[in-house]
């Protein structure tokens, strides 16, 4: 049988078309209007794993969306790789900013992807990256080169906090037993410079509600005499950062793991152009915590950001009104050793305590998760690096990412194994944004690189 490179060349059109079919199903987990589509997508994932060569594929029912479990066990004495991915996607809005429809995938070229990229919601996060693993399995089965056992666990609630996956993992530790967990749901530095994600931030996501008077009021008759919940909410939110952009919640930084000067110097070696960064976002300058550079602010430092804020009159024209209520959704990205339950508690106490007497405040926690860091001297990391080195011609650089995959720390706790984050996306792929896309180069390179991970992982495990 030919090698992986020629297999990809020979089958690439089919690989692309199969992914496009998967992307057409709008599996938006956050919105119940799409629930049948989410279920249809799980079914499509199941069929794809059967076709790729799994011996057993199960639709595992959960309190939420099903988890697709697949396996091919060739010899119980050989190592087992557990592949995790998610088939759900973020909501596509704002719709009007898409240049083509989010669930009608099209291939377009960009400056960064001259060979073309598939534009669709979920193209990179995570259907495209998950499907690379399905096609890599197909190759290894077809060419009889699968060197170890493989298990797949593909969920449909990652974008809403993975509640059912936590439930499933706790109940299926034996079934999910493995030697290493492999995930492609992160990014790399560029198509010329691969990187391996060695850290993820944790998360605490809360919603706040500020209530003032018992009804919306005339802003002339009452303005100036009662607390305006929107004014108050804005003031409270503004007070959560000081002039150095440190977060002011008492105790917030107590457990933050500080990096040594050596570690920070090592981080600074990763290629990065501030000019390009600013140009790509059309901003005149960056903004953030004093004492840290951009690549530290967005990875090793915790943050607090408003993700949405609303209240009062938002229709056409002007309405003179003091709203009874104001709302905001707030995320805090956390770093290793910060505990998300503790941070949620600290936030709730502080936010409630700074409210003036004229309003009441309600804080509702949503989901969260712990951060993650992984060493670079493990067999898994080395195998991943060897695989990237072979397909890209240069070694991968370890990078701590700012994003969160809360389930990774749970895997370590429940399944006692390390996760290797082999991402093939780029920051410019616009995940969660309008016009999300995934480079054809990246997709095919991923399919090419994954079988090498298996090969080297098994070799290094001997």
CA dihedral over 429, 435, 439, 443, signed as positive or negative: positive
Tokens representing 261?
């000067």
Q: How far is CA 453 from CA 52, 124, 424, 457, in A?
A: 18, 20, 14, 6
Does residue 366 interact with ligand BES by CB under 6 A?
no
**Long-range pairs for 258-266: beta carbons < 8 A, 24 or more residues apart:** 259/300, 264/296
Does residue 138 interact with Mn ion by CB under 5 A?
no
Length of the chain: 462
Helix (H) / strand (E) element for 291: namely: none
Please choose which of ligand BES, Mn ion, none residue 370 contacts, taking the beta carbon within 5 to 8 angstroms, the exact cut-off set by kind: none
Helix axes 35-52, 4-23, angle to 10 degrees: 160
Q: Which residues, numbered 167-206, are part of the site for ligand BES (CB under 6 A)? A: 185-187, 200, 203
Q: How buried is 175 (Cβ within 10 angstroms: 0-12 exposed, 13-18 middle, 19+ buried)?
A: middle
CA 196/CA 49 separation, integer angstroms: 26
Please choose which of Mn ion, ligand BES, none residue 448 contacts, taking the beta carbon within 5 to 8 angstroms, the exact cut-off set by kind: none
Q: How buried is 30 (Cβ within 10 angstroms: 0-12 exposed, 13-18 middle, 19+ buried)?
A: middle
Q: Which residues, numbered 176-215, are part of the site for Mn ion (CB under 5 A)? A: 185
Among 404, 409, 435, 442, binds ligand BES (CB under 6 A): 404
Please choose which of Mn ion, ligand BES, none residue 404 contacts, taking the beta carbon within 5 to 8 angstroms, the exact cut-off set by kind: ligand BES
CA 182/CA 80 separation, integer angstroms: 10
Does residue 449 interact with ligand BES by CB under 6 A?
no
Please choose which of ligand BES, Mn ion, none residue 401 contacts, taking the beta carbon within 5 to 8 angstroms, the exact cut-off set by kind: ligand BES
Q: How far is the CB of 432 from Mn ion (least distance, A)?
A: 6
Does residue 122 interact with ligand BES by CB under 6 A?
no
Q: Work out the angle at residue 125's Cα, subtended by the Cα atoms of residues 121 and 131, and round it to the nearest 5 degrees.
A: 100
Does residue 88 interact with Mn ion by CB under 5 A?
no
Closer to ligand BES by Cβ: residue 194 or 311? 194
CA dihedral over 314, 319, 325, 326, signed as positive or negative: positive
Among 406, 439, 446, 451, binds ligand BES (CB under 6 A): 406
Does residue 155 interact with Mn ion by CB under 5 A?
no
Q: How far is the CB of 168 from ligand BES (least distance, A)?
A: 16
CA 129/CA 113 separation, integer angstroms: 16
Among 403, 439, 446, 451, binds ligand BES (CB under 6 A): 403
Closer to ligand BES by Cβ: residue 211 or 409? 409
Place of tokens 């992307």: 23
Q: How far is the CB of 126 from ligand BES (least distance, A)?
A: 6
Please choose which of Mn ion, ligand BES, none residue 203 contacts, taking the beta carbon within 5 to 8 angstroms, the exact cut-off set by kind: ligand BES
Does residue 419 interact with ligand BES by CB under 6 A?
no
Closer to ligand BES by Cβ: residue 211 or 295? 295
How many Cα atoms sit within 13 Å of 401 on the Cβ side?
23
Q: How far is CA 60 from CA 46, 51, 57, 332, 364, in A?
A: 10, 18, 9, 32, 30
Task: Tell me how many helices (H) and strands (E) the chain has.
Answer: 12, 18
Which segment (23-31, 155-163, 257-265, 291-299) binds ligand BES by CB under 6 A? 155-163
Q: Give me the residue whose beta carbon is nearest to ligand BES.
A: 403
Among 18, 37, 71, 126, binds ligand BES (CB under 6 A): 126
**231-270 residues labelled b (16+ CB within 10 A) or e (exposed):** ebbbebbeebeeeebebebeebeeeeeebeeeeeeebeee
How is residue 399 annotated by DSSP? E
Q: Work out the angle at residue 249's Cα, subtended by the Cα atoms of residues 247 and 254, and round it to the nearest 5 degrees.
A: 85
Q: How far is the CB of 185 from Mn ion (least distance, A)?
A: 4
Q: How far is the CB of 47 from ligand BES (least distance, A)?
A: 23
Does residue 401 interact with ligand BES by CB under 6 A?
yes
Q: How far is the CB of 252 from ligand BES (least distance, A)?
A: 19
Q: Which residues, numbered 210-269, are part of the site for ligand BES (CB under 6 A)? A: none
Does residue 157 interact with ligand BES by CB under 6 A?
no
Q: Are 198 and 191 in contact (CB under 8 A)?
A: no
Among 79, 122, 147, 161, binds ligand BES (CB under 6 A): 161
Q: How far is the CB of 410 from Mn ion (least distance, A)?
A: 15
Please choose which of Mn ion, ligand BES, none residue 28 contacts, taking the beta carbon within 5 to 8 angstroms, the exact cut-off set by kind: none
Q: How far is the CB of 409 from ligand BES (least distance, A)?
A: 12
Does residue 446 interact with ligand BES by CB under 6 A?
no
Does residue 126 interact with Mn ion by CB under 5 A?
yes
Kindly list the residues in this chain that would bind ligand BES in the complex (CB under 6 A): 125-126, 158-159, 161, 185-187, 200, 203, 367, 401, 403-406
């Amino acid at each position: 049988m030919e090698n992986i490179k020629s297999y990809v060349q020979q089958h690439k059109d089919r690989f692309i078309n199969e992914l496009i079919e998967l992307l057409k199903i709008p599996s938006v987990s956050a919105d119940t209007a799409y629930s049948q589509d989410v279920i249809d997508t799980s079914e499509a994932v199941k069929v794809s794993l059967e076709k790729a060569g799994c011996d057993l594929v199960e639709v595992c029912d959960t309190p939420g969306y099903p988890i697709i479990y697949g396996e091919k066990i060739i010899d119980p004495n050989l190592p087992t790789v557990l592949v995790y991915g998610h088939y759900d996607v973020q909501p596509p809005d704002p719709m009007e900013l898409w240049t083509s429809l989010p669930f009608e995938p099209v291939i377009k070229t960009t400056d960064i992807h001259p060979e073309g990229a598939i534009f669709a919601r979920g193209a990179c996060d995570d259907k495209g990256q998950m499907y690379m693993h399905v096609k890599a399995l197909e190759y290894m089965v077809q060419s009889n080169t699968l060197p170890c056992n493989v298990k797949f666990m593909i969920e449909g609630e990652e974008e809403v906090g993975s509640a059912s996956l936590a439930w499933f993992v706790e109940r299926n530790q034996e079934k999910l037993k493995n030697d290493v967990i492999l995930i492609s749901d992160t990014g790399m530095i560029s198509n010329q410079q691969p990187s391996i994600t060695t850290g993820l931030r944790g998360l605490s996501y809360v919603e706040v509600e500020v209530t003032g008077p018992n009804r919306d009021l005339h802003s002339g008759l009452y303005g100036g005499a009662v607390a305006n919940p929107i004014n108050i909410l804005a003031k409270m939110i503004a007070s959560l950062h000081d002039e150095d952009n440190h977060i002011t919640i008492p105790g917030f930084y107590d457990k933050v793991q500080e990096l040594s000067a050596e570690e920070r110097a090592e981080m600074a070696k990763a290629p990065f152009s501030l000019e390009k960064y600013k140009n790509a976002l059309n901003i005149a300058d960056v903004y953030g915590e004093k004492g840290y550079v951009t690549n530290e602010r967005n990875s090793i430092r915790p943050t607090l950001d408003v993700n949405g804020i609303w209240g009062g009159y938002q229709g056409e024209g002007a309405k003179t009104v003091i709203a009874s209520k104001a709302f905001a959704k707030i995320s805090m990205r956390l770093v290793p050793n910060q505990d998300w339950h503790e941070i949620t508690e600290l936030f709730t106490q502080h936010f409630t305590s700074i409210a003036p007497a004229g309003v009441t405040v309600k804080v509702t926690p949503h989901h969260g998760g712990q951060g993650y860091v992984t060493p670079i001297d493990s067999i898994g990391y080395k195998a991943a690096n060897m695989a990237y080195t072979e397909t890209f011609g240069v070694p991968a650089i370890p990078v701590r990412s700012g994003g969160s995959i809360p389930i990774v720390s749970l895997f370590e706790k429940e399944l006692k194994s390390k996760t290797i984050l082999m991402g093939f996306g780029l920051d410019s792929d616009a995940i969660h944004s309008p016009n999300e896309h995934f480079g054809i180069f990246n997709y095919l390179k991923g399919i090419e690189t994954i079988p090498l991970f298996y090969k080297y992982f098994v070799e290094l495990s001997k």
